[in-house]
Structure 1
Amino acid sequence: MRMCLGCQEMKPKKELIRIVKNKENEISVDFTGKKPGRGAYMCKELSCFEKARKAKRLEKAFECAISQEIYETLKSQLEEEDGR
């Protein structure tokens, strides 16, 4: 069980998307759940993404500033996944 950064609900790991920060401080979406690095989890809902973004929960989870570019990339990947 992992907690979603958006809705703050505990859910099975398989139902969530993992966002990862690697050793080079690069942040990416990990749909497989196997990339190395520090992970944070989020529901596959855009509403959870928006809540996490507004409350700066990714910054708190990864203890670093996150650029707008990364947020836009994450949002487009979530929208793409939602379209499937």
Structure 2
Amino acid sequence: MRKRKVPLRKDIVTGEMHPKKDLVRVVKNKQDEVSVDPTGKKPGRGAYISLDVEVANQAKAQKTFDKAFGIKVDPTFYDELVAYVDHQQARKELFGDDA
């Protein structure tokens, strides 16, 4: 059986390449609304960030998505992002890589 190629994406905070399943996509739509995209299929401009709370806090401190999307992102979005990443990181530790 052939081994499938693992899609890699770049974390915009650390600049490191990771498998797509280890990242979360953040998307900006045409109305300049920024949101977390757990499915990875929402339309719009996407950027990826690691499922690591420290990286999410670093993105919040540096206002990474303000720079990446060229708009002013609402500070509450960063709080939601940190909470989402924390939840996903906890799920991964509980259930392993299958979650």
Q: TM range, normalised to the smaller chain?
A: 0.7 to 0.9
Q: Which runs of 5+ in 2 are unaligned?
A: 1-7, 92-99
**Larger C-alpha radius of gyration, 1 or 2?**
2
Q: How many residues in Structure 1 have an aligned counterpart in Structure 2?
A: 84
The one-character-per-residue Cα deviations of 1:11-50 (angstroms, maximum 9, x if unpaired) are 1222210001111111111111111110010000011111
TM-score (norm 1): 0.87
RMSD: 1.3
What are the residue-to-residue correspondences of 1:34-49 with 2, within 5 Å? 34-49=41-56
- The correspondence for 1:72, drawn from 70, 73, 79, is 79
Which segment is superposed worse, 48-57 or 31-40? 48-57
Task: State the alpha-carbon separation in 1 of the partners of residues 58 and 13 from structure 2.
Answer: 5
Query: Of 4, 18, 36, which aligns to 2:11?
Result: 4
- Which residue of 2 is the match for residue 57 of structure 1? 64
1:83 equivalent in alignment to 2:68? no
Q: Which runs of structure 1 show a deviation greater than 3 angstroms over 4 or more consecutive aligned residues?
A: none
Identity %: 40
- Judge which range, 34-43 or 65-74, deviates more: 65-74
**Mapped contact 1:6–1:50 kept (Cα < 8 A):** no
| Shift in Å, 1:57 | 1.6
User: Which fold has the larger relative contact order, with Cα–Cα distance below 8 Å and residues 6 or more apart in sequence?
Assistant: 1
> 1:16-35 counterparts in 2 under 5 A?
16-35=23-42
Q: Please, which runs of 5 or more residues in structure 1 have no aligned partner?
A: none
SS of 2:39 mapped into structure 1: coil
